[in-house]
Structures are given as structure tokens and as C-alpha cells.
């Protein structure tokens, strides 16, 4: 029978507008969070990270916000460009003292329209 795959949420944004991609994480003990961008046929590429003792971090055209109260992470992309079209993953890291595990979310597809 037909297999059921992940249905990636899709965000469509017009070129030049700002994009906001949201992510809910599961483990309140997670101490480090990363946003990755994955273009078709390529591996995930690091965008920006944030540690759990921060609530905001800015990069070039990107900002990550962390709300530990509701376990929510967001990625804001300013002046979205066609090259930003990709699947975006958030990942949370949980370090147990002997091992560390990075768990990825299911991803959001960003489509930039001209």
C-alpha cells in the first residue's frame, strides 16, 4: 500500500518580505539549539545556534529567538531572497554528561516567490 510520509509544513513568502519559521522542541533539559538549512540534494547546512542561557541571537539577516517557558524556537529571516528557498530544521541538543544527542525536528519548507 501507499506509505505515509512526513508532510512538511510549507511557508510561502514573497521576495523581500521577512520570514518567520517556528519550531517546538520537546526536552526542557536541552541546552543548545541549532537551525539548519537543507537545499535539495545537499546536506543540512548550519545557519545559527543559540544556547539555553540566551533568548535571542542575531546573525547576518537571521535572528533566532528562544522561549524556554513554552519550549519554542523561531528563526527570522530578514529580506527573504530566492536563495533562501529550502527546508529548515531546528535541532535540540541534550547533553547527559557522558553523551550528547542532537535531535532534529521534522522541518519546514520555505518557498520564496518573486
Partner 1 sequence: DAGVIQSPRHEVTEMGQEVTLRCKPISGHDYLFWYRQTMMRGLELLIYFNNNVPIDDSGMPEDRFSAKMPNASFSTLKIQPSEPRDSAVYFCASTGEGQINTEAFFGQGTRLTVV
Between CA 27 and CA 44, with CA 100 as vertex, the angle to 5 degrees is 85
Nearby residues of 17 by Cβ (< 8 Å), 6 or more positions away:
79, 80
Q: Determine the Cα–Cα distance for residues 108 and 61; give it in Å rounded to an integer.
A: 18
| Residue 70 touching partner 1 (CB under 8 A) | no
Cβ at position 107, least distance to partner 1 in Å: 7
Q: Which stretch binds partner 1 (CB under 8 A): 17-25, 36-44, 66-74, 75-83?
A: 36-44
Among 3, 40, 53, 69, the residue binding partner 1 under the rule CB under 8 A is: 3
| Residue 46 touching partner 1 (CB under 8 A) | yes
| Residue 34 touching partner 1 (CB under 8 A) | yes
Which residues within the stretch 72-111 sit at the binding site for partner 1 (CB under 8 A)? 89, 93, 95, 98-107
Amino acid at each position: 500500500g501507499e506509505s505515509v510520509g512526513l508532510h512538511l509544513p510549507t511557508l510561502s513568502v514573497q521576495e523581500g518580505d521577512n520570514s518567520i519559521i517556528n519550531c517546538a522542541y520537546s526536552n526542557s533539559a536541552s541546552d543548545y539549539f541549532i537551525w539548519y538549512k537543507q537545499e535539495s540534494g545537499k546536506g543540512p547546512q548550519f545557519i545559527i545556534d543559540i544556547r539555553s542561557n540566551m533568548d535571542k541571537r542575531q546573525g547576518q539577516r537571521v535572528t533566532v529567538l528562544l522561549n524556554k517557558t513554552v519550549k519554542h524556537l523561531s528563526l527570522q529571516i530578514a529580506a527573504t531572497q530566492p536563495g533562501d528557498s529550502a527546508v529548515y530544521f531546528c535541532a535540540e541538543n541534550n547533553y547527559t554528561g557522558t553523551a550528547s544527542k542532537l535531535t532534529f525536528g521534522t522541518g519546514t519548507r520555505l518557498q520564496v516567490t518573486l
